Amino acid sequence: MQEEKRIVDEEILLKPGTLWKRVKEQTEYALQCGALLTIPTKFEFIEQDGIRFLVRVLSNLARKEAVKQKQQTQTSSSQVFNPFLPYEEDLFVADISHTHVCILNKFNVTDYHLLIITRAFEEQETLLTVQDFAAMWASLAEFDGLVFYNGGKIAGASQPHKHLQLVPLPLIPDELQIPIEPLFASAQFQDFVGTIPQLPFVQAFTRLEPAWVKSPLKAAEATLSHYHALLHAVGLEDTKQASGQQSGAYNLLATREWMLIVPRSHESFESIPVNSLGFAGSLFVKNEQQMHVLKNLGPMTLLQKVALATKQV
């Protein structure tokens, strides 16, 4: 056990107290040199079931699509373009560990949106590992944020190369840290695995210990155990675990205090896509027509449509 701990401890390369400064410096540089392409948005709130959902309208996706088309044409027809291998040097923020680096999200909607990517190629649909969680906790030790993972295309993943994402908190200035978070106070637990009664879809929830930021590697081992328990609770851990492949699409959200897993059934509903941030209470629509649809439907109803509806008693 001591030898295992020593090996894991050597994986953290990030110098404590440096990440947030690097994020701000590299963001300023990447904006100046044109490597960072912020997508302009406007937003409003839509309330349903006591939650004020933040809904952003992505007002200009043309630039993102143009860049992606250019990248694809420069790639052999027999290959799938991978923007993370190699990643753009102008987006590089920091080495997190021997297995993970931190880069800026090239097409960011929120400020300081980071990607924690594996150095070597790993499929986005493989199960998360202790190394993934070590990189997560090493980053959360630097600043308070929301980490999320889109487990598969149906869950909103746009790239096949494994990457966690991290956005600073609060998600909305001068608002709640995370819109959906007030519901977590009513979590009902069996041992350390809970469910949120007000969420009308299958999910599993657990508490994490904020003090774990003091020891990211020890935290990673504990978080990995919680992660597998949550997968089991929602029926996503089966014989595929031995191969390292997930058995179904899901979204994962985590902060220093909790972790939530939501299995997915559909990538979108009424053409409105949903990724992990939707289950935090932050949604995106592509135009005003979709905003109108969402207002009529209701954000919580949208989440229910793309997740697995809970059985009515």
Share of the chain above pLDDT 70, in %: 88
Least confident of 78-82, 87-91, 139-143, 166-170: 78-82
Is the pLDDT at 173 greater than 50? The verdict is yes
In angstroms, the Cα distances linking 205 to 125, 194, 227 are 21, 5, 10
Share of the chain above pLDDT 90, in %: 82
- The dihedral built from the CA positions of residue 14, 20, 21 and 23, taken in this order, carries a sign that is positive
Q: Token pair of 288, please?
A: 């005003």
The answer to whether 122 and 209 have CB atoms below 8 angstroms apart is no
Is the pLDDT at 5 greater than 80? The verdict is no
Q: How confident is the model at residue 4 (pLDDT cuts 50, 70, 90)?
A: very low
What does the pLDDT read at residue 40?
87
Q: Is the peptide bond before 216 cis (omega within 30 degrees of 0)?
A: no
Is the pLDDT at 153 greater than 80? The verdict is yes
Is the pLDDT at 214 greater than 60? The verdict is yes
Is the pLDDT at 151 greater than 50? The verdict is yes
pLDDT digits (tens, 9 = 90+) for 62-74: 455 555 555 555 5
pLDDT digits (tens, 9 = 90+) for 6-63: 444 458 999 999 999 999 999 999 999 999 999 988 999 999 999 999 999 997 654 5
What does the pLDDT read at residue 312?
47
Q: How confident is the model at residue 3 (pLDDT cuts 50, 70, 90)?
A: very low
Amino acid at 4: E
Is the pLDDT at 241 greater than 80? The verdict is no
What does the pLDDT read at residue 15?
95
Least confident of 140-144, 173-177, 195-199, 295-299: 173-177
Q: What count of other Cβ atoms lies within 10 Å of the Cβ of residue 247?
A: 17
The answer to whether 289 and 256 have CB atoms below 8 angstroms apart is no
Q: How confident is the model at residue 251 (pLDDT cuts 50, 70, 90)?
A: very high
Is the pLDDT at 79 greater than 80? The verdict is no
pLDDT digits (tens, 9 = 90+) for 97-114: 999 999 999 999 999 999
Q: How far apart are CA 91 and CA 18, in angstroms?
A: 16
Is the pLDDT at 1 greater than 50? The verdict is no
Does this model's pTM top 0.95? My answer is no
Domains of the chain: 2-306 (3.30.428.70)
Could you please report the per-residue DSSP string of 17-57?
A: T-HHHHHHHHHHHHHHHT------EEEEEEEETTEEEEEEE
Q: Higher model confidence: residue 189 or residue 75?
A: 189
Q: How confident is the model at residue 243 (pLDDT cuts 50, 70, 90)?
A: confident
235: left (phi over 0), alpha (psi -120 to 50) or beta: left
Q: What count of other Cβ atoms lies within 10 Å of the Cβ of residue 169?
A: 15
CA-closest candidate to residue 132, choices 117, 143, 142: 117
Amino acid at 145: G
Q: 242-249: long-range contacts (C-beta < 8 A, 24 or more apart)?
A: 244/126, 244/127, 245/123, 245/125, 245/126, 245/127, 246/125, 246/126, 246/127, 246/151, 246/152, 248/152, 249/125, 249/151, 249/152, 249/153, 249/154, 249/155
Is the pLDDT at 145 greater than 60? The verdict is yes
Q: How far apart are CA 219 and CA 138, in angstroms?
A: 9
pLDDT digits (tens, 9 = 90+) for 262-272: 999 999 999 99
Average pLDDT, the chain: 90
Q: How far apart are CA 234 and CA 309, in angstroms?
A: 12
What does the pLDDT read at residue 244?
87
